[in-house]
């Protein structure tokens, strides 16, 4: 039996945000690749797949994934991540570098790309800004870029040093790459477990002021303007930070951003009863911030929706809330949660697919 038969998808809605395609038609796949689309009749030797009006679109491009491999294979391997990605429609992902060891060596960049090819998944490695993602000594950005790194970041650790961030933006710019920042002022976020406010106080949880996000966003926008470098803010979650980004974009600063489904699907009330599955970094925000994220998705301020996939072992979550690890799996659900907003009428289908396919592809 041929594991990759030629396929003809019929009666499907073909949507490709990159080209503006949106129409009913047929699509032919030969030897595992798209061969033709339109009104194709019935070519010989193909298996017919009746679409019944379903949408057929490019594979999703996930701009932020924390893989368990290397170093945390007890949580997830690249093979299991590929299976989760396939179930969620993700065919390409950008892998964060704060693994064990950190992706701060060109050989590790090449290894990640090769491991993806082994399991049928395109992995675009982010490389570390600093050695070991420790925020101290700059990594060899030029060599890492040459090896195939698509951008530079310290993953879940914010680049807190202003001087280091300035240098990183300058150096990355020379190689045509972005710095991807976790936008949370480190000294304000340290030790926090939830967004500072009435709910955190009532639950007795140490708070992180929502302003911690906007403070670092404001600093890095100024640094991007100063250096001419490009900064990308990951999982933006507050209206205040989005207003700063919107204004910077209007002023021509090289700034982009993404968000993740929890920040437009949930608000801080999800942590009630100390639900550790809802402990994230950055933490869930007030309802006003959730609505601001939705508005920014609709008006183009936000450039991509990323899963922010960060799998956790059950033991990481079966702890008191303040001690539980932040994060959760998202590869398999990023499309479904985004489509819930489409069905609710808060986000158009073509716009949603653009944020999940063409726009993150352009960023990477």
- Domains within the chain, CATH numbers bracketed: 7-55 (2.30.40.10), 59-363 (3.20.20.140)
Cα(332)–Cα(138) distance, rounded to whole angstroms?
Answer: 34
Q: What's the pLDDT at 44? A: 80
Taking 90 as the threshold, does the pLDDT of residue 269 lie above it?
Answer: yes
Mean pLDDT value across residues 164-191: 98
Q: Can you say how many angstroms the Cα of residue 107 is from the centroid of all Cα atoms in its chain?
A: 24
Taking 70 as the threshold, does the pLDDT of residue 1 lie above it?
Answer: no
Q: How confident is the model at residue 4 (pLDDT cuts 50, 70, 90)?
A: confident
Q: What's the pLDDT at 3? A: 66
Taking 80 as the threshold, does the pLDDT of residue 285 lie above it?
Answer: yes
List, for residues 68-114, the tens digit of each pLDDT value: 999 999 999 999 999 999 999 999 999 999 999 999 999 999 999 99
Residue 36 or residue 229, greater confidence: 229
- Annotated catalytic sites, by residue? 308
Structure tokens at 90: 């993700």
Structure tokens at 37: 């689309």
State the maximum Cα–Cα separation within the chain, in Å, rounded to a whole number.
68
Mean pLDDT value across residues 218-237: 99
Collapsing DSSP to helix, strand or coil, 152 comes out as: strand
Helix (H) or strand (E) segment spanning residue 33: strand 33-38
Token look-up 């961030």 returns: 165
Cα(169)–Cα(109) distance, rounded to whole angstroms?
Answer: 20
Number of C-beta neighbours around residue 14 at 10 A: 19
The backbone region for 274, taken as left when phi is positive above 0, alpha when psi lies in -120 to 50, beta otherwise, is left
Residue 326 exposed, middle or buried by CB count within 10 Å (0-12, 13-18, 19+): middle
Structure tokens at 19: 């080209």
- Residue 179 near residue 168 (C-beta atoms within 8 A): yes
- Residue 12 near residue 25 (C-beta atoms within 8 A): yes
Q: What's the pLDDT at 32? A: 85
Taking 70 as the threshold, does the pLDDT of residue 61 lie above it?
Answer: yes
Q: What's the pLDDT at 249? A: 98
As a whole number, the mean pLDDT across the chain is: 96
Q: What's the pLDDT at 40? A: 77
């Amino acid at each position: 039996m041929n594991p990759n038969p030629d396929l003809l998808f019929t009666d499907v809605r073909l949507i490709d945000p990159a080209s503006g395609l949106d129409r009913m038609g047929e699509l032919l796949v030969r030897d595992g690749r798209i061969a033709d689309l339109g009104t194709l009749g019935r070519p010989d030797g193909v298996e017919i797949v009746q679409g019944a009006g379903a949408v057929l679109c490019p594979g999703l491009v996930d701009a932020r994934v924390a893989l368990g491999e290397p170093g945390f294979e007890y949580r997830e391997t690249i093979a299991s991540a590929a299976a989760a990605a396939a179930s969620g429609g993700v065919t390409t992902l950008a892998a964060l570098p704060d693994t064990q060891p950190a992706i701060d060596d060109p050989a590790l960049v090449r290894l990640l790309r090769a491991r993806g090819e082994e399991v049928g998944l395109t992995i675009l490695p982010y490389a570390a800004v600093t050695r070991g993602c420790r925020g101290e000594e700059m990594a060899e950005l030029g060599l890492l870029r040459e090896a195939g790194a698509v951008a530079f970041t310290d993953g879940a650790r914010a680049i807190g040093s202003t001087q280091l961030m300035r240098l990183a933006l300058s150096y990355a710019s020379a190689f045509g790459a972005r710095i991807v920042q976790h936008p949370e002022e480190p000294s304000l976020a340290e030790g926090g477990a939830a967004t500072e406010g009435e709910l955190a106080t009532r639950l007795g949880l140490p708070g992180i002021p929502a302003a911690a996000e906007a403070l670092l966003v404001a600093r890095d926008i100024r640094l991007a303007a100063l250096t001419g470098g490009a900064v990308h803010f990951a999982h933006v979650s507050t209206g205040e930070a989005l207003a700063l980004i919107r204004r910077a974009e209007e002023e021509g600063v090289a700034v982009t951003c993404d968000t993740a489904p929890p920040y437009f699907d949930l608000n801080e009330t999800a942590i009630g009863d100390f639900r550790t599955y809802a402990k994230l970094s950055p933490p869930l925000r007030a309802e006003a911030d959730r609505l601001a994220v939705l508005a920014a998705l609709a008006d183009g301020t936000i450039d991509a929706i990323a899963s922010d996939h960060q799998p956790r072992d059950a033991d990481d979550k079966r702890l008191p809330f303040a001690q539980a690890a932040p994060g959760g799996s998202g590869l398999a659900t990023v499309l479904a949660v985004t489509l819930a907003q489409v069905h609710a009428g808060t986000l158009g289908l073509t716009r949603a697919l653009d944020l999940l396919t063409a726009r993150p592809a352009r960023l990477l």
